[in-house]
Amino acid sequence: MTTRSSTYPLRLPRSLKAAIEKLSKRDGTSVNQFVVMAAAEKVAAMTTAEYFTERRERADMEAFDRILNRKGGQPPQPGDELSEEGDR
């Protein structure tokens, strides 16, 4: 599959351009590839945040509570408890 691309004139502050040049060299990529990947990462982060926001808005908290409070299942096993700091 061939990816179609387009050009976009981009103006950067000199300090940012210098930082990108330094980092892209260290990363072994071109400035263009570095900027493309940075933009892709930002799009992915924002898209992911929107996805979870939409999922949260669709949540059925009554169903959630029913599932958590249902009878049966297994009691917590040794090692399942939280530490004083709260396991993360």
Answer whether residue 78 is part of any domain.
no
Answer whether residue 23 is part of any domain.
no
Answer whether residue 9 is part of any domain.
no
- Tally of domains in the chain: 1
Residue 28 has a pLDDT of 96
Q: Which pLDDT tens digit goes with each residue over 15-54?
A: 999 999 999 999 999 999 999 999 999 999 999 999 999 9
13's tokens: 């502050």
| 31-57 vs 14-27: helix crossing angle, rounded to 10 | 100
30's tokens: 């071109």
Q: Which pLDDT tens digit goes with each residue over 49-81?
A: 999 999 999 999 999 898 888 888 777 888 888
Residue 70 has a pLDDT of 87
Q: Are 35 and 20 in contact (CB under 8 A)?
A: yes
What's this model's pTM, rounded to 2 decimal places? Answer: 0.59
Residue 83 has a pLDDT of 78
Query: Which residues are within 8 A (CB) of 33 and not within 5 positions of it... i.e. 6 or more apart?
Result: 24
